[in-house]
Structure 1
Amino acid sequence: MYIDHFGMQELPFTLTPNTRFFLQLPTHQEALNLLLVALGSGDGFIKVVGEVGTGKTMLCRTLLNTLEKEPCITAYIPNPYLSPEGLRHNFALEIGIENALQLRDFELVNRINQRLVEIAGQGLYTVLIVDEAQAMPEETIEALRLLTNLETESNKLFQVVLFGQPELDQLLRRPSLRQLLQRITFSCYLHTLSAEEIRHYLEQRATRAGYKGLSLFSSGASKLIAKVTGGVPRLVNILAHKSLMSAYGRGDYVIGKPHVIKAIEDTEGVSVPAMTGYMPFIFGSVILASSVGGLLYWAVMRGLI
């Protein structure tokens, strides 16, 4: 691929949530700080909401990695489309109850309670992290609420962090789930990135991948990526990756608008916006025009890119 061409050690814009590339930007760093403060204060339910592709899973993985350094036992459920029994079994396995699958439901709840008391007795606290929480069936969310009733006289035995898309808010507003909604003490929302944040994001990820040159993306390329992606990090990654491939194929070392345009043309769900002084073109192809004047206009525009 283009790694050697740009002097990198790894691909900088993959869709895998590699926490080495965690966004050092206000919207995500502030969310992480809020989560750590809320968990440190013993709050029961915490909710993180963001649109598709805004970095929820990356934040979730970063939180898990951070909690590994704390006096904490973490239980992680990445796919919460479970029955109430399935939720309890998964939680029990995550906190170290090895024979959880052999226990009947009543016995399982008692064993979970005993295990949580054991953990608290060791000076540790327990955190259950649920990703894609908007996919939880309503009866499973209610089962989770009932499970959090396990507590000592002074403390909750475990805390819950819910990560989800905006549909999670709609789900929790149902009258039947109003008791759980009242227990959510902190909520944070992941917003899309501004054009300036995207510029920093592109350079930061390239640098962490090993790039040592000056700005890899031109100002025009960065602004164009920001415009067509609406600031969604996942789309930014897709276009940045394809732009690097386009530049590598042409032997270029700086990403310009033409490389981004080629990436846009190769990506579903985005389109080249109408821009003053620009006519879209495809690398390596002939643009058909209906007149000599049209061909001349195209040539002039291409020279300006």
Structure 2
Amino acid sequence: MYAAHFGLRELPFGITPDTSFFFGSPRSQEALNTLLVAARSGEGFIKITGEVGTGKTLLCRKFMATLGDDFVTAYIPNPLLEPRTLMLALADELGLVLEREVDQHQLLKSITHRLVALAGQDKRVLLCLDEAQAIPVESLEALRLLTNLETEKRKLLQIVLFGQPELNRKLALQSIRQLAQRITFHYHLGPLGRDDLDFYVAHRLRVAGYPGARLFSRRAIDRLYRASGGIPRLVNILAHKALMLCYGQGRQQVEAAHVNAAARDTIATQRSFWRWLVGAAMASTAAGIAWTFVR
């Protein structure tokens, strides 16, 4: 692979969430700060939304890794589960050993006792649910009922929902309005700006051990931003492919042509590019019509 060619210790643009590569852009750092403040204030529900590929899972893992020893964290990456199965998943995350055919009453009682015991040890319990837009409405209601458990001082369980914007539409349903009212902290994670993307690429290269100054030319960064729309996952895919192409040509700096070739090879960015092209064409046509009327 190209790592040795560019003097890298590891590949810098993997799509697996790795907290060592976490980039504290203004948006991601503000989202992380929001999570930390909300968690320490003891709020019941916290919500983070963002489009596909904006780094929600990486943010979640960074958040859990940043919390101190006074927190016990539970993580459910795929919460497309009916209420009972979701409760069993939570019990498993809390280290509970239950009978195979445990009934609902005993299940909730065991979870409650575990939460009370942890509170007695001055531990805060925080459940992070990734892909939260997939949670069935009935399971969201079950989670709300769990957050009713509290001491005189604070909630026994805090829940953080990480999801795509579809989560907002689900929370707007009349049937779970009580849950929506309990979300006191929320943040929407947007794409990287052009300058942030430049710093993002340099940051990941530096973490991966790149010893030089600028591996991606400024024009390559411009093209990378335009092709990816600032979506970190697409940036990683395109940057990885561009580095492979650059390595294949024996070059030492990635140019716009390498990113262009990478973009042509990536279906998601092709669709994004054509949507942009159609939008630009429509805007141009509208401007032309407006100019005709002005004249």
TM-score normalized with structure 1 length = 0.87
Cα deviation, 1:102-159, whole Å, max 9, x if unaligned, reads: 4211011111111101000001110010000000011111111111111123321010
Which residue of structure 2 aligns with residue 200 of structure 1?
A: 199
Contact conserved, 1:92 with 1:100, CA < 8 A, in 2? Answer: no
Number of equivalenced pairs: 274
Aligned pairs (5 A) from 1:113-124 = 113-124=112-123
Contact conserved, 1:89 with 1:101, CA < 8 A, in 2? Answer: no
Q: For the residues of structure 1 that align with 2:99 and 2:197, how far apart are their CA atoms?
A: 45
Q: Which has the larger radius of gyration?
A: 1
Which residue of structure 1 aligns with residue 70 of structure 2?
A: 71
What secondary structure, in the 3-state scheme, does the structure 2 residue paired with 1:126 have? strand
CA 1:32–1:130: 2 relative to 1, 3 Å: same
Contact conserved, 1:89 with 1:100, CA < 8 A, in 2? Answer: no
Aligned pairs (5 A) from 1:259-278 = 259-271=258-270
Which residue of structure 1 aligns with residue 284 of structure 2?
A: none
Q: Which has the higher contact order (CA 8 A, sep 6+)?
A: 2
Contact conserved, 1:142 with 1:177, CA < 8 A, in 2? Answer: yes
Which residue identity is paired with 2:202?
A: E
Q: For the residues of structure 1 that align with 2:131 and 2:184, how far apart are their CA atoms?
A: 19
What secondary structure, in the 3-state scheme, does the structure 1 residue paired with 2:268 have? coil
Shift of 1:101: 4.3
Contact conserved, 2:146 with 2:157, CA < 8 A, in 1? Answer: no
What secondary structure, in the 3-state scheme, does the structure 2 residue paired with 1:202 have? helix
Contact conserved, 2:147 with 2:155, CA < 8 A, in 1? Answer: yes
Q: For the residues of structure 1 that align with 2:29 and 2:152, how far apart are their CA atoms?
A: 34
Contact conserved, 1:2 with 1:245, CA < 8 A, in 2? Answer: yes
Contact conserved, 1:100 with 1:108, CA < 8 A, in 2? Answer: no
Cα deviation, 1:228-247, whole Å, max 9, x if unaligned, reads: 11110010001000000000
Of stretches 168-177 and 142-151 in structure 1, the one that deviates more from structure 2 is: 142-151
Which residue identity is paired with 1:245?
A: M
Which residue of structure 2 aligns with residue 19 of structure 1?
A: 19
Q: For the residues of structure 2 that align with 1:83 and 1:257, how far apart are their CA atoms?
A: 48
Structure 1 stretches of at least 4 aligned residues deviating more than 3 Å after TM superposition: 271-275
Q: For the residues of structure 1 that align with 2:100 and 2:74, how far apart are their CA atoms?
A: 16
Contact conserved, 1:125 with 1:158, CA < 8 A, in 2? Answer: yes
Which residue of structure 2 aligns with residue 228 of structure 1?
A: 227
Q: For the residues of structure 2 that align with 1:18 and 1:270, how far apart are their CA atoms?
A: 23
Shift of 1:64: 1.6
What secondary structure, in the 3-state scheme, does the structure 2 residue paired with 1:188 have? strand
Contact conserved, 1:46 with 1:160, CA < 8 A, in 2? Answer: yes
Q: For the residues of structure 2 that align with 1:171 and 1:11, how far apart are their CA atoms?
A: 38
TM-score normalized with structure 2 length = 0.90
Contact conserved, 2:53 with 2:233, CA < 8 A, in 1? Answer: yes
Which residue of structure 1 aligns with residue 80 of structure 2?
A: 81
What secondary structure, in the 3-state scheme, does the structure 1 residue paired with 2:3 have? coil
Which residue identity is paired with 2:154?
A: N
Shift of 1:222: 0.2
Aligned pairs (5 A) from 1:123-162 = 123-162=122-161
Q: For the residues of structure 1 that align with 2:206 and 2:269, how far apart are their CA atoms?
A: 26
| Structure 1: gaps (5+ residues) | 276-305
Of stretches 69-78 and 233-242 in structure 1, the one that deviates more from structure 2 is: 69-78
| Superposed CA RMSD | 1.5
Q: For the residues of structure 2 that align with 1:102 and 1:160, how far apart are their CA atoms?
A: 26
Which residue identity is paired with 1:186?
A: F
Contact conserved, 2:223 with 2:259, CA < 8 A, in 1? Answer: yes
CA 1:131–1:84: 2 relative to 1, 3 Å: same
Shift of 1:26: 0.7
Cα deviation, 1:62-114, whole Å, max 9, x if unaligned, reads: 112112x3311111110000010001111111112122644211011111111
Which residue of structure 1 aligns with residue 167 of structure 2?
A: 168
Q: For the residues of structure 1 that align with 2:50 and 2:251, how far apart are their CA atoms?
A: 36
Contact conserved, 2:227 with 2:269, CA < 8 A, in 1? Answer: yes
Q: For the residues of structure 2 that align with 1:102 and 1:79, how far apart are their CA atoms?
A: 23
Where is the helix percentage greater, Structure 1 or Structure 2? 2
What secondary structure, in the 3-state scheme, does the structure 1 residue paired with 2:195 have? helix
Q: For the residues of structure 2 that align with 1:11 and 1:101, how far apart are their CA atoms?
A: 44
Q: For the residues of structure 2 that align with 1:39 and 1:247, how far apart are their CA atoms?
A: 44
Which residue identity is paired with 1:248?
A: Y
What is the identity percentage for the equivalent residue pairs of Structure 1 and Structure 2? Answer: 51
